[in-house]
Amino acid sequence: MPTEGYRGLVLVRDIPFQSLCEHHLLPFRGCAHVGFLPGDSLVGLSTLARGVEHVAHGLQLQERITQQVHDWVRREVNPRGTGVVIEAEHLCMSFRGVGTADTHLISSVFSGELADDSAAQAAFFGREVRGHD
């Protein structure tokens, strides 16, 4: 689908996912924030959600999911910049060890024009962005 001249950030926040920790065989769940700066085309929003679901399936590591979703967006969309932030609660941490409930791991990958754009990156972390084109 052509961009029709749109050059701003496309960001889908709070895409839910669940997976299994390959180290502890316990579930972890959270949400992914996936965005990009369009090149010549856009993708449907549900396509990004399906990509997260596909990558998170099976035994995984959160950091690997983050990188794989990022790489998938770059291949599928060919954007000027890509960003992925994943926040998840790991039951291996909540139920085992120190038993710290409601603690979240945050992992992120930014590339292309988003690699050095702190205002755009702030949007991924849920911070208000003012004056960003």
Domain ranges (residues) in the chain: 10-124
At the top level of CATH, the class of 10-124 is alpha beta
Active site residue 24: yes
pTM for the model stands at: 0.87
Active site residue 132: no
Active site residue 92: yes
Q: What is the pLDDT of residue 15?
A: 96
Residues 6+ apart with CB under 8 A from 15: 31, 32, 33, 34, 48, 49, 52
Catalytic residue among 21, 33, 68, 121: 21
Q: What is the pLDDT of residue 71?
A: 98
Each residue's pLDDT, cut to its tens digit, for the chain (133 residues) gives 665 788 899 999 999 999 999 988 889 999 999 999 999 888 888 999 999 999 999 999 999 999 999 999 999 999 999 999 999 998 877 666 666 777 888 999 999 999 999 989 999 998 654 444 4
Catalytic residue among 31, 53, 87, 92: 92
Catalytic residue among 23, 54, 57, 132: 23
